[in-house]
Chain A
Amino acid sequence: DQQVKQNSPSLSVQEGRISILNCDYTNSMFDYFLWYKKYPAEGPTFLISISSIKDKNEDGRFTVFLNKSAKHLSLHIVPSQPGDSAVYFCAASKSGDNNDMRFGAGTRLTVKP
């Protein structure tokens, strides 16, 4: 069962504009969420995370928003740069089971110059 879903396989945006990547989850026990970025032929790299006690976390151009009632989180990248072109994975885990992190299928972001 896909407990973490990224329903958009791909997204294309113009350089300088905002990129919004979405993620939905079904398990209400999830309380920690992360975003990873992956370039071709490389492993995923950690980007940003958020705990369920917060609804927003910001790190430079990257902001993650969490809506617990809707079981939805989103990653905003402002402004988008061509180097941001990659596959972005949303992931979720729950306290007490730190080693069972569930990933979404990923969204391929293309930022056009």
Chain B
Amino acid sequence: DAGITQSPRHKVTETGTPVTLRCHQTENHRYMYWYRQDPGHGLRLIHYSYGVKDTDKGEVSDGYSVSRSKTEDFLLTLESATSSQTSVYFCAISGNRGLNTEAFFGQGTRLTVV
């Protein structure tokens, strides 16, 4: 299994509070991604990173920010959580070709905003 660890695995938070999810990899892969999975939508890309301090927006980036200060860590922050951000969040990594190759996913973080 690819070395990807997401933390926390589960979190319940209140509306309006900030939340940070962490993704840690031990594979030294260049690309890292954050997806959310919702019923009827599959997985949708929130943000991705193509190197340290290099990030870009994905399909559903509103309300989210990311940071990558080290190759191995990619943080996803919800500045002020809303109920619509209740979801399962997956981190993924891939090599130098980006996503036109297989990606490896973490086990997911289930976030509930109440």
Interface size on B, residues (CB 8 A): 30
The residue on B at minimum CB distance from A45 is B105
Contact with B along A74-109 (1 / 0, CB 8 A): 000000000000000101010100111111111000
The residue on A at minimum CB distance from B31 is A99
Q: How far is the CB of A21 from chain B (nearest CB, A)?
A: 13
CA distance A21 to B58 in the complex (A): 27
B78 contacts A by Cβ under 8 Å:
no
Interface size on A, residues (CB 8 A): 26
A34 contacts B by Cβ under 8 Å:
yes
A36 contacts across to B, CB distance below 8 A: 105
The residue on A at minimum CB distance from B42 is A103
Q: How far is the CB of B111 from chain A (nearest CB, A)?
A: 15
A101 contacts across to B, CB distance below 8 A: 45, 99, 103
Output the residue of A91, A93, A102, A103 with the most chain B CB within 10 A. A103
Could you tell me if A89 and B33 are in contact, using CB atoms closer than 8 angstroms? no
Could you tell me if A99 and B48 are in contact, using CB atoms closer than 8 angstroms? yes
Contact with A along B24-68 (1 / 0, CB 8 A): 000000010101000111111100101000001011000000000
Could you tell me if A99 and B106 are in contact, using CB atoms closer than 8 angstroms? no
A104 contacts across to B, CB distance below 8 A: 42
Q: How far is the CB of A9 from chain B (nearest CB, A)?
A: 9
CA distance A78 to B45 in the complex (A): 32
Assuming the contacts A4-B42, A99-B48, A103-B44, asked whether A93 and B100 have C-beta atoms less than 8 A apart, the reply is yes
Could you tell me if A43 and B106 are in contact, using CB atoms closer than 8 angstroms? yes
CA distance A77 to B87 in the complex (A): 30
The 6 closest A-B pairs by CB, nearest first: A98-B98, A43-B105, A46-B102, A103-B42, A103-B43, A101-B99
Interface residues of chain B, those whose CB is within 8 Å of chain A, are 4, 31, 33, 35, 39-45, 48, 50, 56, 58-59, 90, 92, 97-108
Interface residues of chain A, those whose CB is within 8 Å of chain B, are 2, 4, 6, 32, 34, 36, 41-46, 49, 89, 91, 93, 95, 98-106
